[in-house]
């Protein structure tokens, strides 16, 4: 990872929070993700299991975290398992963590090499009554490949069939949804990198620029600020492409008179930002574009005002839908008859706003957390209403990231330009060059 070292207290606190939720005389086992094959002899870039990273800060394959708070030997109450450094492998793939380095990152004092784990783990299992195993319980999970967590769970239950088993994921869903102040500090760092990148783009975008050139500017800006790269595939959607929610082709020319929707965010230290802004390619909103944009911003601000402890995401979404219905009628998208005759299971406003308004944000862009239970202080959410008008070939979305506090929320992106007039002013003052290179495609 390219970021500066994080405070190891982040991970120490997270382990302490998990241990407090464990049953007495229980052991919890967490595995790293697989290295996944691509084509030929290539593998995909390694992505660490978010739960293991949350507990340790370790971003290396073939790792484990073992928590056994009632182990009779205090030395082994929390253990980090690493692959032993191998000189030949390091010549090909690069340096692997040494024990002292892993201790500094994770705050875990006991490091065990993977090749000697078996002789230690079996006695620990025999001493424990309950085994916590981890699986992916993200509500949006769509991967049917049997990854390491599931293979490991199957293996353990065959080897130790008389133990009691519990789901770590149930605890993780509760704990990871509520960020510690140290975690929020890291998310803010990802937000700040994203902020500087957006302001850079306001000086770069103009008619004739290609969507992929904007994407390249994002990637360049992120890496130059010690981000490990985009938190997800950047969406750079000009004109009618903005109505495609997960548009990732990013291969068209930005045209005079059109809007361009940009949904992107930096990853820093494993944590993510998630920003969306929609700006005029030529630097000036048309009268209609500004009307729709300001309506979306009004809906954004209204949604943000609702996000406070006690409301559930489902109830919050219903309230935002009521407001959207009123606003869409004011700008001519809905008629009274549309509202009167709407299907309650498919509200009339859904023709122009067909996605959710908020999701949890953290180590995963769509982070763990409940949609039905009341939200709590420490949770971090996106706020991202949109308006998509097929008849006008227009799509607008405005997205900020907020942290829930005891009395409401704190907008982590409050300093990022958001009002139409702010965006126009930034684009009006844009230079004719970026980093010494002309932004005129003809010159």
Classify strands 110-113 and 78-82 as parallel, antiparallel or unpaired.
parallel
Quote the pLDDT of residue 443: 35
CA 142 to chain centre: 16
Residue 117 has pLDDT above 70, yes or no: yes
* Domain parsing of the chain, residue ranges: 9-174, 181-438
Mean pLDDT score, 394-400: 98
CA 309 to chain centre: 21
In whole angstroms, what is the distance from residue 248 CA to residue 241 CA?
Answer: 10
Structure tokens at 436: 């010494």
Q: With the C-alpha atoms ordered 196, 194, 413, 179, is the resulting torsion angle positive or negative?
A: negative
Structure tokens at 285: 């909103």
286, 406 Cβ separation under 8 angstroms? no
262, 234 Cβ separation under 8 angstroms? yes
List Cβ neighbours of 93 (8 Å cut-off, separation of 6 or more): none
Structure tokens at 289: 């574009």
192, 275 Cβ separation under 8 angstroms? no
Nearest to 403 by CA among 367, 437, 440: 367
In whole angstroms, what is the distance from residue 302 CA to residue 246 CA?
Answer: 25
Quote the pLDDT of residue 157: 98
pLDDT category at 98 given cuts 50, 70, 90 is very high
List Cβ neighbours of 293 (8 Å cut-off, separation of 6 or more): 278, 285, 396, 398, 420
pLDDT category at 138 given cuts 50, 70, 90 is confident
Structure tokens at 297: 């911003």
In whole angstroms, what is the distance from residue 108 CA to residue 88 CA?
Answer: 27
pLDDT category at 432 given cuts 50, 70, 90 is low
Least confident of 146-150, 164-168, 233-237, 307-311: 146-150
3-state secondary structure of 247: coil
Angle at which helices 287-306 and 420-428 cross, to 10°: 130
Nearest to 273 by CA among 364, 376, 200, 397: 364
Q: What is the pLDDT of residues 311-350, one digit of tens each?
A: 999 999 999 999 999 999 999 999 999 999 999 999 999 9
Domain 9-174, CATH homologous superfamily name and number: Creatinase/prolidase N-terminal domain (3.40.350.10)
**What kind of fold does domain 181-438 have according to CATH?**
Creatine Amidinohydrolase (3.90.230)
Quote the pLDDT of residue 439: 47
**DSSP bridge pairs for 278:** 261
In whole angstroms, what is the distance from residue 17 CA to residue 182 CA?
Answer: 14
């Amino acid at each position: 990872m390219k970021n500066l070292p994080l405070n190891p207290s982040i991970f120490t606190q997270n382990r302490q929070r998990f241990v407090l939720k464990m049953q007495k005389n229980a052991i919890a086992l967490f595995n790293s993700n697989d290295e996944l094959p691509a084509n030929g002899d290539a593998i995909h870039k390694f992505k660490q299991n978010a739960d293991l990273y949350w507990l340790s800060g370790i971003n290396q394959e073939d790792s484990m975290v073992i928590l056994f708070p009632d182990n009779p030997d205090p030395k082994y109450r929390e253990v980090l398992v690493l692959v032993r450094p191998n000189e030949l492998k390091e010549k090909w793939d690069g340096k692997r963590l040494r024990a002292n380095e892993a201790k500094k990152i994770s705050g875990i004092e006991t490091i065990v090499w993977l090749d000697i784990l078996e002789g230690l783990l079996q006695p620990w299992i025999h001493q424990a009554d309950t085994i916590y195993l981890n699986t992916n319980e993200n509500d949006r999970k769509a991967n049917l490949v049997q990854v390491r967590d599931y293979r490991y769970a199957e293996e353990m239950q065959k080897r130790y069939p008389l133990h009691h088993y519990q789901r770590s994921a149930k605890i993780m869903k509760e704990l990871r949804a509520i960020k510690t102040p140290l975690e929020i500090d890291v998310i803010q760092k990802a937000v700040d990198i994203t902020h500087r990148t957006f302001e850079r783009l306001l000086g770069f975008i103009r008619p004739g620029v290609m969507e992929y050139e904007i994407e390249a500017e994002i990637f360049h800006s992120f890496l130059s600020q010690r981000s490990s790269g985009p938190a997800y595939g950047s969406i750079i959607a000009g004109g009618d492409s903005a109505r495609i929610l997960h548009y990732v082709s990013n291969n068209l020319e930005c045209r005079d008179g059109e809007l361009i929707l940009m949904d992107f965010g930096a990853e820093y230290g494993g944590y993510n930002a998630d920003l969306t802004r929609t700006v005029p390619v030529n630097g000036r909103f048309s009268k209609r574009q500004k009307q729709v944009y300001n309506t979306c911003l009004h809906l954004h601000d209204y949604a943000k005002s609702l996000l406070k402890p006690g409301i559930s995401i489902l109830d919050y979404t219903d309230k935002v839908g009521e407001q959207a219905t009123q606003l869409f009628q004011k700008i001519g998208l809905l008629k009274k008859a549309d509202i009167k005759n709407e299907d309650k299971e498919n509200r009339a406003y859904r023709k122009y706003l067909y996605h959710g308004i908020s999701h949890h944000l953290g180590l995963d862009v769509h982070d763990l957390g409940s949609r039905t239970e009341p939200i709590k202080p420490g949770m971090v959410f996106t706020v991202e209403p949109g308006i998509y008008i097929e008849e006008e070939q227009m799509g607008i979305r405005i997205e900020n990231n907020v942290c829930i506090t005891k009395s409401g929320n704190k907008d982590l992106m409050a300093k990022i330009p958001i009002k139409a007039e702010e965006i126009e002013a930034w684009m009006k003052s844009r230079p004719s060059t970026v980093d010494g290179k002309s932004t005129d495609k003809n010159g």
